[in-house]
Amino acid sequence: SRLTNYGYYRLSKDIGTVSNPVNGFGGYLSEQGAQNGGFGFRGTLDGNGKAIHIKSQYGGLFSVVGGGAEFKNLSFKVVDYGSTGDAACLAVLCCSLCGASLSEVDFEVVSSGWGRDGFQKNAYKSGVGLISANMAHGNSFKNVSVKSLYPIASIFGGVTYEGLGGSDFDHFTIDCQELCHLGVKRSIGSSGSPIPVSSCYLPMDFKGIEGSFDFKHSESVSVRLEDSYASIEIEKRFGQMELLSAAVDGQAVDDAALEEGAFTFETSKAFGGASSSSPTIVLELSGGGFMCSYSIPVSLSK
C-alpha cells in the first residue's frame, strides 16, 4: 500500500557516529514510476546544522521521497555500506526522488562501498547511486555539495532506466576522487547492462553544477610504439574541454594536443621512458566550471 509521511522534523543533535552509523532502512516500494511524487516522504527535514552518519543500504532512509519534501541545513556522512556486491538500490536518501528540494545539504563519502574489486564491475550497472538509486525527477538543488575520497559510480542512479530529468541546480558542487556519471538518461530503451556512458548524464550537461572529479576511460586503448604519432578519441563531452597538461605514469608529455575530441601525441615522447607495457595517460582538463582528471589505460605493442 502507499505510504505518505508529512510533518516537520528538526534535529537537535547529530544522529549516529562514524563507528555506529544509522542504518538506511527504506527498502523498495513496489509502486515506483510516474505516481512516485505523490507519496513517500513529503515533509521537511531540517538538519539544524547537524549531521547524520549513515550506513548506505537498500532503499536509503526513505525508499521514496515525493513532491514537496524539503531537506535543509543538513550533512550526510556515508561511513559504511550494506553491500559490496552489485550494490543494487543502495543510496543515502531513497530509490526515487521526485519533486523535492534540497538546500544547504552536504553529502560526504568517507568509506568505500566497493570492496576489493567491485567498483569497475558496477560502474555502469543499474541501481548504483549516492543520493538516489532509481530516478530523480523535478527536484531543486541549491547550495548542495558532494564530496568523496572514494570512487562513486553515480549520484542519482538509474535502476529503472527512467533516470534523471527536470531538475534545477544552483551551486551544486562536486569534489570526487572518481565519478562515472551523474545519472542515467530517461527513456534510453532496453534495460541492458552495462549502460554505455553515452546514455548517461555527466556533470557538465547541466547548468549550476561545478567542481572537480576524476573520470576513467571505459576501455584500454592499444598504442603501437612503431607509430610516430598516436591519436585517442575521448568521450566527446570531455573532448570539448581545454587540455592543461598530459602525463604518462606521472611523467609529463610535451607537445600533446586535444582537438575535436582527439588526444594526439608523439609516441616516443609519451612512452620512450615507460617502464610498463600497460601505462596510464592522465589528461588534466578544464572547462564549464570543472576541473577533471581523465585517465586512459593503455596497452603498448611494437
Residues contacting 35, CB < 8 A, separation 6+: none
Select the more confidently predicted residue: 117 or 62: 62
> Which band of pLDDT confidence, cut at 50, 70 and 90, is reported for residue 80?
confident
Q: Summarize the confidence of residues 131-152 as an average pLDDT.
A: 92
Rounded CA Rg of the chain: 20
> Which band of pLDDT confidence, cut at 50, 70 and 90, is reported for residue 31?
low
> Which band of pLDDT confidence, cut at 50, 70 and 90, is reported for residue 1?
very low
Q: What is the C-alpha to C-alpha distance for residues 253 and 270, in angstroms, rounded to an integer?
A: 5
Torsion sign (Cα): 223, 260, 258, 213: negative
Question: Do residues 267 and 227 make contact, with C-beta atoms less than 8 angstroms apart?
Answer: yes
Lowest mean pLDDT among 93-97, 106-110, 136-140: 93-97
Select the more confidently predicted residue: 57 or 149: 149
Helix/strand/coil percentages in the chain, nearest 5 = 10, 50, 40
- CA-based nearest residue to 191, from 130, 124, 117: 124
pLDDT at site 114: 62
- Confidence check: pLDDT of 30 > 50: yes
